[in-house]
Amino acid sequence: MIRLKHRSIVLFVLLLTVCGLGQAVKQSAPQAEVKARRVVMWKASSPTATVYLLGSIHLGEKDIYPLPDVVESAFRASKVLAVEINIKKIDQMAAVKMMQQFGFYPDGDSLAKHLPKDVSDALDSFCSKNGMPRSALEIFKPWAVAITIELIALQRAGQDPNLGIDVHFLNESKEPQKIDELETADFQMHALSSGSEAEQQEILADVLKEMANPQAHIQEMEDTFLSGDPERIEKYMEKHDTPRSFYKRVLDDRNGPMADHIEGYLKGKDQCFVVVGEGHLVGEKGIVKLLQQKNYKVELITAELK
């Protein structure tokens, strides 16, 4: 499904456009127990430069901080922090206009006209359970509805977008450290809204099933991403990233340009710290593998959380 760990611009825009809904249903929830608490990071090296690669989840909880010293030290020693999108510098009006262009139906059209009965019924059930009006979602296309309800359900379960790993480092970054973006907001919005109607319906149906029990989803996600096991993370991605045709576009096809951008750092002289969605790093088509295929040395670093 369109997981929150894959996004930055859309998460930001939806926080603006559905903040009323989100605040209406947000509530505290017990912290899920994490069975393994290890963070994985990669160190890519060239004769002139070092680049650290850290996977991000875009929502988090206080108990994952502070991050391990080896991670924070690598960040502080880097002259460049690279993220997918610097959400702290997004033009809010332009972002909302993009969402209106790519995520809203035009006047005279609505979500109800584009959903099979079983998906529509499941959405009705979610809205009823979470005390939110179904009518508030009718302007959104299915892919945007999927992100909206996932965001709301995870916030209710205790996840906070202000505690995402990418936001953490953006908040910690201070001059003279430079913040660089690997992508543009417009590019991300095009990619995330590229699903066919059938793909969008499948994405929404999957999200509704997962968000029927958000605590179980959080437990599985945290157990995986704090396992310190890249193979386990890869298997998690393979299990959840469906429909595959869509995720080839929003994950695999973006990894090549990101790897090329990171290669530019390796050809330079400055130490860089890169934070991207974890799914972009692992697997045979992930950024780590692509850099290794370019003959760069890439080492895995595993560090314990306190």
Q: Where are the domains of the chain?
A: 4-304
Q: Which of 165-169, 190-194, 263-267 ranks highest by mean pLDDT?
A: 263-267
**242-258 pLDDT per residue, tens:** 788 888 888 889 999 99
> What average pLDDT does the segment 250-278 reach?
95
Give residue 55's identity as a one-letter amino acid code: G
For residue 5, give the DSSP letter.
G
Question: Quick one: 136 exposed, middle or buried, by C-beta within 10 A (0-12, 13-18, 19+)?
Answer: middle
Report the pLDDT averaged over residues 120-132. Answer: 94
Query: What one-letter code names the amino acid at 23?
Result: Q
More confident residue, 17 or 76: 76
Residue 166 has pLDDT above 80, yes or no: yes
Task: Please give the pLDDT value at position 73.
Answer: 97
Q: What confidence score (pLDDT) does residue 3 get?
A: 43
Query: CA 128 to CA 108: how far, in whole Å?
Result: 25
The answer to which of 39-48, 56-65, 125-134 has the lowest mean pLDDT is: 56-65
* Whole-number pLDDT of residue 160: 86
- For the chain, the average pLDDT equals 87
Cβ-count burial 91-121 (b if 16+ within 10 Å, e if not): eeeebeebbeebbebeeeeebeebbeeebbe
pLDDT tens digits, 171-209: 999 999 999 999 988 888 888 899 999 999 999 999 999
Q: Which residue has the higher pLDDT, 51 or 159?
A: 51
Query: How do the residues of the chain divide into helix, strand and coil, expressed in percent and rounded to 5?
Result: 55, 15, 30
CA distances from 98 to 13, 126, 150, 175, 251 (A): 9, 27, 20, 30, 21
Q: Tell me the pTM.
A: 0.87
E strand intervals along 147-293: 178-181, 272-277
Residue 21 has pLDDT above 50, yes or no: no
User: 135: number of CA atoms within 13 Å, CB side?
Assistant: 0
Tell me the mean pLDDT in the region 213-238: 88
Q: Of the ranges 111-125, 139-153, 283-297, which one carries the lowest mean pLDDT score?
A: 139-153
